[in-house]
Structure 1
């Protein structure tokens, strides 16, 4: 979501860095960026493990505390700040719907903050309690968060959950697109027909090109040209 379908001007990185500072977790901006797209509780466990050692008795407590501080900062940010779709997002979603292509949003966010974002955009309208478009009226068909699967990105479980809900058995019927290395990696691990990167989100072309991908797009405006020959 952040950086792919909703604009992210380093808000998530900033909120994460603030939480690290408040909880005395020393981490560089480069390290935070490299872990974008991952489940945030997983990131805090990873970073505290790097600092304390994976067997440290206070690891879980410190990771949970940092995560709790982060969620408070992040939720306040999205409650108070405008939320806008990325360049070409609404046009792309309309094109996909017109061609009966299912739209699933996956995210490293947890459900509460995801619903804050979707609600402010009006994208919750028409989704049922399982965040599935049973009404046929929603702008998206499905929303899946990292806390709704056993492991978030770079594992492919969110993609595979979407496939199961849509009754898709062949991953070659799926195109994955995102703006982080973990997005690309999850699409590759899922065996998607294409795993595409966006370079106008949290990562640049130089940062993404070193990861296996099936194409790097400058914005969602370019996705239509990729999909049309496949329809």
Structure 2
């Protein structure tokens, strides 16, 4: 029987913590958002909320705030607005930059004939501000937020939307990389051939060990070599 060949055609990369470094701006914005909705810094409720935010890094921010406010939509939206305002200010203050080598890595992946799609738990407006700040508007094939796909991570929707929009033949041709367990769960649930964790963001090896994954990498810059090896193994 001939072994099916599944070279990697589509690479989905998380933004904050994987391709983008924000100097802790996400967590700082969470603190400000919680203060805005009456969960003051220093309170036990605030500490619990921050711990939850860290555990759920990578997920849709509005969904995180819905969970923290027990489904109170008005409070959740107020918190999300405060979060995005605070994070946007950090972007304007040049608080975001690429993970070292990320742009070159994306170029290398595209030169190899692969689609590269960025995925994020940020709103589309915040996502696009980051892309403009980095000058990445034309660097990637596509950039997706939860609102573009249906649900955010750990659901697989953004990865599957990327597959459909790029015309990729099968999930067997899909690779995904991210710095959180939510990224890895989304990749696993999407059926991605490669679900790679990177050590440049929120979660550590001990966190990655709790969810399915195929690789743990020091940085996204290590990913092209992994994909080249996968492709070589499927070449007859």
Which of the five TM-score ranges fits, normalised by the shorter chain? 0.7 to 0.9
From 18, 22, 25, the equivalent of 1:11 is 25
Specify which structure has the bigger relative contact order, considering alpha-carbon pairs within 8 angstroms and separated by 6 or more residues.
2
Q: Distance in 1 between matches of 2:33 and 2:22?
A: 18
Structure 1 residue ranges (4+ consecutive) displaced by more than 6 angstroms after TM superposition: none
Instruction: Give per-residue Cα distances to partners, 1:190-211, cap 9 Å, x unaligned.
Output: 0000111011212122222222
1:38 match: 59
Alignment of 1:59-70 (within 5 A): 59-70=72-83
What is the Cα deviation at residue 75 of structure 1?
A: 1.4
- Pair 1:186-2:186 in alignment: yes
TM-score, normalised to structure 1, is: 0.86
- In proportion to residue count, which structure has more strand? 2
Equivalent position SS for 2:118: strand
Q: Distance in 2 between matches of 1:73 and 1:13?
A: 10
Equivalent position SS for 1:187: helix
Gaps in structure 2 of 5+ consecutive residues: 1-14, 40-44, 232-236
User: CA contact under 8 A between 1:171 and 1:193: conserved in structure 2?
Assistant: yes
Instruction: Give per-residue Cα distances to partners, 1:54-101, cap 9 Å, x unaligned.
Output: 5xxxx1121122112212112122122242111231231121122111
- Pair 1:22-2:36 in alignment: yes
Q: Distance in 2 between matches of 1:171 and 1:195?
A: 12
Q: Distance in 1 between matches of 2:46 and 2:59?
A: 16
What is the Cα deviation at residue 46 of structure 1?
A: 0.6
Alignment of 1:186-225 (within 5 A): 186-225=186-225
Report how many aligned residue pairs link the two structures. 210
What is the Cα deviation at residue 225 of structure 1?
A: 1.9
Alignment of 1:69-80 (within 5 A): 69-80=82-93
| C-alpha RMSD of matched pairs (Å) | 1.4
Instruction: Give per-residue Cα distances to partners, 1:151-184, cap 9 Å, x unaligned.
Output: 1111111111111111123101000100011100
- Pair 1:123-2:152 in alignment: no
1:134 match: none
Q: In terms of mean alpha carbon deviation, does 206-215 or 186-195 score higher?
A: 206-215
Gaps in structure 1 of 5+ consecutive residues: 125-137
User: CA contact under 8 A between 1:110 and 1:147: conserved in structure 2?
Assistant: yes
